[in-house]
Structure 1
Amino acid sequence: MRRHFLTALLAAGLAYSAVAQTTFPRNGVYDERPGLYAFTNATIVVDPQTTLQNATLLIRDGRVEAVGSNVSLPAGTVVADLKGKRIYPALIEIDSDYGMPELPPATGPAGRGGVPQLESNKKGAYYWNQAVQPENNASLLFKATPAKADELRKLGFGAVLTHPHDGIVRGTGALVTLADERENTLVLKSNATAHYSFSKGTSRQNYPNSMMGVVALLRQAMYDADWYKRGGSKEQSNLSLDALNRNQSLPAIFDAGDKLGILRADKVGDEFGVQYIIKGSGDEYQRLDEIKATGASLIVPVNFPQPYDVEDTWDADNVAFSELKHWEMAPMNAGRLAGANIPFALTTAGLRNKTEFWANLRKAIENGLSEQKALEALTTAPARLMKAEDQVGSLQKSKVANFIITSGNLFSADNVIYENWISGKQYIINQKDAADLRGNWQLTVGERSNIKLTITGKSADKPEYQIQVDTTKITPKVAISGDIISIQTQLDRRPGSGTTRLTGYRTSPTTLKGDGETPDGKRITWSATKGTDTPQSASAVTAARSTSATSSTAVIYPFVGMGNLQKPKSETVMIRNATVWTNEKDGVLTNADVFVTDGKISKVGKNLPVPADIKVFDGTGKHLTNGIIDEHSHIALLTINEGGQSSSAEVRMADVINPDDVNIYRQLAGGVTTSQLLHGSANSIGGQSAIVKLKWGESPESMLIKGADGFIKFALGENVKQSNNPSSGVRFPQSRMGVEQVYMDHFTRAKEYAKGWAAYNKLGAKEKAATIPPHRDIELDALAEILSAKRFITCHSYVQSEINMLLKVADSLGFKVNTFTHILEGYKLADKMAKHGVGGSSFADWWAYKMEVHDAIPYNAALMHRQGVTVSINSDDAEMARRLNQEAAKTVEYGGVSEEDAWKMVTLNPAKLLHLDNRMGSIKVGKDADLVLWNAHPLSIYARPEFTMIEGAIYFSLKDEDAKRDAMQAERARLIQKTLAAKATGTPTQRPTFRRSRMWHCEDIEGVMAEGEEESQAQK
């Protein structure tokens, strides 16, 4: 008969009493149990490295008293014999909002049809921005939710780290158990962790409205907290900064969003000496080397994407190659992290339904994650990360008695979790004494013996039944109560035949027998004998399916179409007998050679000796140039405008580089090797530029040109005063006059700011110790760098009057404008530009696309050039950048510029404007080997690069293009067939969604995600 363990516990509890330890008075009789239980003869997994056979676990008052093979049991111990069963530490969920208040519904970011909210609406002495709320304390907000607790308990979880998932700085998390008790008994550790993210959450303030603004706000908040700690608290009271400083001693967890977010978060952490624990999205395998280099421990979800429904070929076209690859490779993520020795914990966060957890985890194990590492990632790893290993994560003495009792291997597909004990309290998940009838049975009913009964199912208490009579398969109705079984089935499928009813009992583990009645009322006997062959288990089926599946598990760099299996490396090469456009005094050399070593141009000349065993390119009939340099680009960025304020000098384009943007590859195919990635023109003072080389497949940091001068984007005109967005007419300035005042105000403040720091830095050590330091302002830092000629301005401009205005402001305040970009009325004041020393980066022939460019003419570049202005031709457009050679050629047609001078407008001249002409822009010994071999005259509309080289590494090769595309198409076809096969087996699918890659322009604004909003698809 089945034993009811709870009944035994109750009987034992009445025989033993203890004095209740409580601070809560009770309305009624105190009835406290001793909490002294022993579990014997079990296989006990103490921790991922330690498993004991036939061992005993003794718990007292919710804590582990002892564990081992020779444990003495005190008098009054309630004993449970778990022979044949296992005990594991209960799992820990490290990223949860369990028990937190529900967030208000998303109403859309300010500025999209509504009046912008420029200032905080939060009353009190808090931070100026509502997305920064370190004062949030999960232990004060926590309220147990029984339904959610039960959901997690059934999966084997005993404790969770919970925190409010709201904002960039989110406050502190609390470690709580999942018991059904008062909240004060559930909190194991308040203020356990500090939490950060790249989502502004429920804040509706206009700022920040971009990812780079989020990074800047977080950095500024950290500097503000440091100033507050160093004496700023004497000048003002700020509860947020006070909390932010207190939280610095806690383990810091950063919800980074994805693989690039991990690198971004770690960069912020490095700036402030913080090693974040970083939560990713499951795509970490795509950037393993860079992520390992961060030294961060990760929190990794198991929310694998569903296969795509691609039966319709038009639907299939809507699925990106990278999406198909990620669907296949996402289950490999955890295993590859483990293989790279990157520490991580696992989380259920992001699952469509929590019930998917075990299936997905087992899929990860099938794809390379060891069971030991999986257990570690759900027990000891999260405990270690939140510094709670003295309480949870294993079954060692004195730790909280959080454990689960299972039928067998926790990770087996047919394993059953029977009980989940939390703080010494029992929660029954499945009846562990249920008879396990699963198997193949030979059934005899009356005189009929040709009947097969098959019982399957994930667990003993949730069986599935099928009867087979000859070739007919029937699903019977079965009820089991203890050892009693009743079966109702229609054994005869002929029309009008009735139901046969059978009732009996189990006489042994392999036999059943009983009585029954046929449809015509005849009494019969029946019996069943269990065979030795058992149904194939779910785990075996899964394993077989996994083994038979074929997959290409190679990661490509970047993880998109046309990515490389290996990152390109610098080579020693010789280009022979080419027409070489030097951009130097030698001009264009015919039948010349260029030798490249160590990423540099080492020799230029004719009939150069060719060393043995090097790669040689035949340039006969071809033209060799240095790579094109785009002075004004917006490719390879997640977003380009932080328009929440009049000045966003604090934001950095380097924080939002997207190395997976296919436009990098497309522009390499057009001969572009270097781009200045500019902020947009949404505000008077934009953000800090990123100057990159288009190293396809490298990380954002590796693309940046080391040692390059700092630049910043300014803007004039319609975009700045929001002419095209009248509904948001709140932000200053709203007129061209106001734009001038923005510059005067900000640079005046920057001058005073710089003076304050200069005075402070002159103080001696004792004087500094007695003085409150100036407040660090990263916006004014950038403007002060302009005043000291350490950062340089590229200004979006069109109208002559405004260009004159900025030149006068610059002269009056003592700084220089480096470049006017667009500058379509530059021909009207080219002499003044030359006198000021400012360059012009122009379109070749754009005009009349808005009011302020009606006076643009295609002769603009030539006229500025003749006045001595350094002129470049830029793109400001992902498509145009692929044919900048042709844009340069237009200056020959419009204005009669020489071919060599025209070519310099997309090579040497932009290098000069970017202060990089000492290392690029021409073919000269010692300069970077950024070279393009063209199959025709580079200014011809028929010219195509045969290869594009950056620092001696070939990033685009026309020769390899077709083979590369064919390989991608073949891989795509294989993946589509695999998704079709998955759907055919009944796997749930998702409908493809068309996503267009965003090609940014100056005026584009993409709001940063708020809670509840759909993610931006900028990376797709």
Structure 2
Amino acid sequence: MIKQLSTFLAGMMLSFVSFGQQTFPQNGAFDERSGRYAFTNATIVTDARTTLANATLLIENGLIRGVGKQVKVPAGTVVIDLKGKYIYPSLIDLDSDYGMPEVKRDRPASGRQTPQLESNKKGAFGWNQSIQPENDASQLFTPDEKKAAELRKLGFGTVLAHLHDGIVQGSGTLVTLTDEPANIALLNRRASSHFSFSKGTSSQTYPSSTMGVAALLRQTYYDADWFAKTGKTQEANISLEAFNQIKSLPSFFEANDKFSVLRADRIGDEFGIQYIIRGGGDEYQRIKEIKNTKATLILPLNFPEAYDVADPWDADVISMAQLKHWELAPANAAEVAKADIPFALTLAGMKNKGDFWKNLRMAVEYGLSKEKALEALTILPARLIKAENQIGSLREGYLANFLISSDDIFSKEAVIYENWVQGKKFILAPLHAPDLRGTYTFAVNNQPSGKIQITGTPQKPDYKIIIQDSIKITPKVIQANELLTITYQPDKKTGATVRLTGWRAGTGLAGEGVMPDGSIVSWNANLTEKFVSPVAKDSAAAKQPELGKVVYPFVGFGNEELPKSSTVLIRNTTVWTNEKEGIVGNADVLVQNGKIARVGKSLAAPAGSTAIDGSGKHLTSGIIDEHSHIALFAINEGGQSSSAEVRMSDVINPDDINIYRQLAGGVTTSHLLHGSANSIGGQSALVKLKWGAGQSELLIPEAKTIKFALGENVKQSNWGDIVRTRFPQTRMGVEQVYFDHFLRAKAYAAKWKAYQAAPKKNAMPRRDLELDALAEILSGERFITCHSYVQSEINMLMHVADSLKFKINTFTHILEGYKMADKMSQRGIGGSTFADWWAYKMEVKEAIPYNAALMYHQGITVAINSDDAEMARRLNQEAAKTVEYGGVPEEEAWKMVTLNPAKLLHVDQRIGSIREGKDADLVLWSANPLSVYARPEFTMIEGAVYFDRNKDLEKQKSMLKERERLIQKMLDEKASGKPVQKPQSAQPKMWHCEDIIGMDTQSEASR
């Protein structure tokens, strides 16, 4: 023992000179010793799949010189015997802010500020402050010894650090966690590029939404390409030049949730880039879709605490998704591994980084293999940043970055003694701490005084003094190696304190002390019972916790399996065809392969088909909501007067419960529109309400529409005086916005036409996503849906369209449409209106309930829309109002929520009526669909039943049962003393045209 200790201390005296500052002057004598160590008789885990027993690790000058069982140890080497100990590669974190300046966003005290339309950044940088590719982490990096020590204590030796600020965040730098100067810590100055969906500290108004972020990032890629080819001759732009320098580096995207992972990957696919994506820990909820991205993930280990559900009212505010995610989050990494998706693990996002090992071991307990866990913290991160020949495993020539632990590092009893970084030792716990644990007889002046029990771990022992077999005292103990100082109070009433000092004597303890009366005594403790550690369960072999099922979508009423199309014959029902046959009684409809195969009477049921008796019921095509804002994460990109470049398809939320609710009302298709915050809004998304399906499966890609707006909202009438900076601020200005943008779009299209005709003669124009969308309108490829109310403005936009030769497809809302019906009819413009909304703001004061009927009688294609998540559940009743107000025939009224919206959206070749060859989007109603008593028995999309009234009742019972199971499990969690959190309500947002949500605050800013 003494020999080992002397050798150990001699090693400590050697100076660390590897990677020394050879270009720096030395103040004092120069120590050129090599720092050569041999760690012998250890269990060495060289990588996640290779373990060597009784092996040696030889290091010199901060590098590994040998590893294995036959390593020759040169003379003069400090030899450290690690018999019974383990050596692992130090861990790597690829998402760190270590050494970076603190990111602070200045916010006005009032919470609101005057809009900042342009960048405040001085110099020849890009126009938007959230695009910061010029940020070079290696120049910003300053070693932080306190943070480095915190990370080393957890076992990390290397991190990829970058500034977490903005959409394009610049380059990252690979650094070790040594306490040496920055030039030694830096391994790779420019190792990576970094992106996110947050604009960070930028206070510019644009982008103000996630869809705006996506559009800006796309535009930046196009601008950088243009700059590299042509733009350099036209302008100086430090940002675009820097972007081109970093875009070939490994690209990391901070996504933070499952849908952002998918969104980021779609952007990458557009530009041939495979991002390495940091997720949010909920990837298991959409695992198949995420696997299809082929992306490598970085997964956090931040698991939610149980909710305090003791109060039933508190429990009521917790959603089913929150309950289930609490239970399933620890299994996320295991599910990702099971799906064979490569991933690394990170500390990022953890509320308390001290929970890292607890959460990592929990992930193993929930099914993640130890090999995968270690791989995700060592060799895989090294590969992702192309540093696998330096770090991540223990091989000759690699950096001497390694850990020394007491045991298998995934064991709950394991202690990390030392973390060596670039060959320099950092002590985390005493390597040779004596194990004093056990039960001792305790005597003072040779008189029996009770027992001493020492439990816990050798590094952190727990002490108890037991007097008279029943009185247990917890003493205060200071242990320095084998020396002890013990103080305790035998009688708390008197407060008198006994003070003892002692040392290890053979297998026992001995020493001297001072009693409360000042007398000097001797004491000793003889070991009578050795401490036996609890048998550590092998977490890999332990029985995994019993968990609930993942449902699609991951909310209440989700499906364990997605509905599938089948062959169905609906017999003896009243069929509302919306075709020349009209309403047909006692008819049959055959559904095969997701299509309407036949419509007729007395049809034969094919083998294997399901027959449904529709007697006394009515079968219609599914309702199509021409104006909806459900199933979206954002609604307005209000940062600029025109946001034609943004895509609602970037922010589709398949988990929105309103999808299911509207299926229950017979809706099968929704036109998801941008809001009305600006004159030219974003590109719309047409979706089928396939409950549980993914974002891409919902989309009808051939539908190409865009939202325009008129009236109060676009000129910011109700936004408050502080924000009246953005043009336009008057209705006259709105007109000029349209003239200006379409004139520029015409010139833009002409430039591209000239370039494509003679590319050698003409310079390549800059690709502009905003003008691309407007040029599509001019060429008839994209169709306008315009938010409108007032006669004068409707008339204005029609004149603008006439003069600039573009077509308005649909006026939506159009509550004064009855005044303009003749002019709309002449131009072939459709009208999508409310049935009887009125008086909710000044510009709708002249709305009348006869509006739809009057437009219909003028030959306009009229649709009745919702613009409201609640109203969409009863659009059948809204259509019925046109029969009451205006005498519209029932069949024509029904077309206003089925075939007519399909025509306005240019998809009537697929949906909107019951005809052979069309999509089998069908609803079986209990009565005439225009009746207030009618209810959908089932709602089918492409031959698959997504809502069934009988199964809905079963779902409700099943959901209540599952909810109660999870609540009871949380109550058990609280009873066991584990931390719980206050319930947080997570109600779905009911969007309207005027809603504006700040990306960073996620709270409603204006209505």
- TM superposition score category, shorter chain reference: over 0.9
Distance 2:666 2:20 in 1: 79
Report if aligned partners of 1:131, 1:201 keep a CA contact under 8 Å in 2.
Answer: yes
Distance 2:651 2:132 in 1: 24
Report the counterpart of residue 244 of structure 2 in structure 1. Answer: 245
Query: Secondary structure at 2:356's aligned position in 1?
Result: helix
Query: Secondary structure at 2:376's aligned position in 1?
Result: helix
Report the counterpart of residue 100 of structure 1 in structure 2. Answer: 100
Distance 1:986 1:794 in 2: 57
Report the counterpart of residue 7 of structure 1 in structure 2. Answer: 9
Report if aligned partners of 1:441, 1:529 keep a CA contact under 8 Å in 2.
Answer: yes
Query: Secondary structure at 2:454's aligned position in 1?
Result: strand
Distance 2:983 2:236 in 1: 52
Is 1:551 aligned to 2:547, yes or no? Answer: yes
Q: Deviations over 1:32-61 (max 9, x none)?
A: 431211111111111111111111111111
Is 1:690 aligned to 2:685, yes or no? Answer: yes
Map 1:711-860; keep pairs closer than 5 Å: 711-725=705-719, 726-763=721-758, 767-768=759-760, 771-860=762-851
Aligned residue identity for 2:695? P
Work out which of the residue numbers 650, 655, 672 in structure 1 matches 2:667. 672
Q: How far is the alpha carbon of 1:614 from its aligned partner?
A: 2.2
Distance 2:523 2:98 in 1: 55
Q: How far is the alpha carbon of 1:465 from its aligned partner?
A: 2.0
Report the counterpart of residue 45 of structure 2 in structure 1. Answer: 45
Q: Deviations over 1:757-814 (max 9, x none)?
A: 1111112xxx53x753111000000000000000000000011111111111111111
Query: Secondary structure at 2:883's aligned position in 1?
Result: helix
Query: Taking structure 1 as reference, are residues 433 and 500 closer, same or farther at Cα in structure 2, changes over 3 Å only?
Result: same
Report the counterpart of residue 161 of structure 1 in structure 2. Answer: 160
Report the counterpart of residue 62 of structure 1 in structure 2. Answer: 62
Is 1:588 aligned to 2:590, yes or no? Answer: no
Distance 1:880 1:329 in 2: 35
Query: Secondary structure at 1:593's aligned position in 2?
Result: strand
Query: Secondary structure at 1:174's aligned position in 2?
Result: strand
Report if aligned partners of 2:442, 2:523 keep a CA contact under 8 Å in 1.
Answer: no
Aligned residue identity for 2:718? N
Report the counterpart of residue 998 of structure 1 in structure 2. Answer: 989
Report the counterpart of residue 85 of structure 2 in structure 1. Answer: 85
Map 1:937-948; keep pairs closer than 5 Å: 937-948=928-939
Aligned residue identity for 1:723? S
Moved more, 611-620 or 555-564: 611-620
Q: How far is the alpha carbon of 1:246 from its aligned partner?
A: 1.0
Distance 2:560 2:124 in 1: 54
Report if aligned partners of 2:364, 2:540 keep a CA contact under 8 Å in 1.
Answer: no
Is 1:646 aligned to 2:615, yes or no? Answer: no
Aligned residue identity for 1:921? G
Query: Taking structure 1 as reference, are residues 1005 and 525 closer, same or farther at Cα in structure 2, changes over 3 Å only?
Result: closer
Query: Taking structure 1 as reference, are residues 997 and 370 closer, same or farther at Cα in structure 2, changes over 3 Å only?
Result: same
Q: How far is the alpha carbon of 1:933 from its aligned partner?
A: 0.9
Distance 1:573 1:112 in 2: 57
Q: Deviations over 1:223-264 (max 9, x none)?
A: 000001112111111111111111121000000121000100
Q: Deviations over 1:400-436 (max 9, x none)?
A: 1111111111111111111111111111111111112
Distance 2:375 2:123 in 1: 44
Distance 1:18 1:391 in 2: 14
Map 1:386-397; keep pairs closer than 5 Å: 386-397=385-396
Report if aligned partners of 2:455, 2:531 keep a CA contact under 8 Å in 1.
Answer: no
TM-score between the two structures when normalised by the length of structure 1 = 0.95
Distance 2:65 2:544 in 1: 47
Map 1:465-504; keep pairs closer than 5 Å: 465-468=463-466, 470-489=469-488, 504=502
Is 1:460 aligned to 2:458, yes or no? Answer: yes
Query: Secondary structure at 2:260's aligned position in 1?
Result: helix
Map 1:978-993; keep pairs closer than 5 Å: 978-993=969-984
Report if aligned partners of 1:518, 1:524 keep a CA contact under 8 Å in 2.
Answer: no
Distance 1:524 1:247 in 2: 71
Amino-acid identity (%): 62
Report the counterpart of residue 953 of structure 2 in structure 1. Answer: 962
Map 1:266-415; keep pairs closer than 5 Å: 266-415=265-414
Q: How far is the alpha carbon of 1:505 from its aligned partner?
A: 3.7
Query: Taking structure 1 as reference, are residues 277 and 522 closer, same or farther at Cα in structure 2, changes over 3 Å only?
Result: closer
Aligned residue identity for 2:741? H
Is 1:881 aligned to 2:877, yes or no? Answer: no
Query: Secondary structure at 1:229's aligned position in 2?
Result: helix
Moved more, 48-57 or 306-315: 306-315
Report the counterpart of residue 536 of structure 1 in structure 2. Answer: 534
Report the counterpart of residue 188 of structure 1 in structure 2. Answer: 187
Distance 1:550 1:41 in 2: 40
Aligned residue identity for 1:57? L
Distance 2:1004 2:208 in 1: 15
Distance 1:112 1:690 in 2: 33
Distance 1:306 1:239 in 2: 45
Distance 2:596 2:12 in 1: 85
Report the counterpart of residue 429 of structure 2 in structure 1. Answer: 430
Report if aligned partners of 2:452, 2:525 keep a CA contact under 8 Å in 1.
Answer: no
Query: Taking structure 1 as reference, are residues 64 and 868 closer, same or farther at Cα in structure 2, changes over 3 Å only?
Result: same
Is 1:703 aligned to 2:698, yes or no? Answer: yes
Aligned residue identity for 1:897? V
Q: How far is the alpha carbon of 1:113 from its aligned partner?
A: 2.8
* Runs of at least 5 residues in structure 2 that lack an aligned partner in the other structure: none
Aligned residue identity for 2:547? S
Distance 1:18 1:1005 in 2: 57
Q: How far is the alpha carbon of 1:607 from its aligned partner?
A: 1.5
Report if aligned partners of 1:947, 1:957 keep a CA contact under 8 Å in 2.
Answer: yes
Report if aligned partners of 1:497, 1:519 keep a CA contact under 8 Å in 2.
Answer: no
Is 1:929 aligned to 2:923, yes or no? Answer: no
Query: Taking structure 1 as reference, are residues 357 and 282 closer, same or farther at Cα in structure 2, changes over 3 Å only?
Result: same
TM-score between the two structures when normalised by the length of structure 2 = 0.96
Q: How far is the alpha carbon of 1:681 from its aligned partner?
A: 0.5
Q: How far is the alpha carbon of 1:362 from its aligned partner?
A: 0.7
Map 1:186-225; keep pairs closer than 5 Å: 186-225=185-224
Distance 1:695 1:1017 in 2: 28
Distance 1:96 1:10 in 2: 31
Distance 1:839 1:163 in 2: 52
Query: Secondary structure at 1:830's aligned position in 2?
Result: helix
Distance 1:991 1:18 in 2: 51
May I ask how many residue pairs the two structures share in their alignment? 1000
Map 1:589-628; keep pairs closer than 5 Å: 589-628=584-623
Query: Taking structure 1 as reference, are residues 914 and 829 closer, same or farther at Cα in structure 2, changes over 3 Å only?
Result: same
Distance 1:728 1:295 in 2: 43
Map 1:127-138; keep pairs closer than 5 Å: 127-138=126-137
Query: Secondary structure at 1:378's aligned position in 2?
Result: coil
Query: Taking structure 1 as reference, are residues 620 and 445 closer, same or farther at Cα in structure 2, changes over 3 Å only?
Result: farther
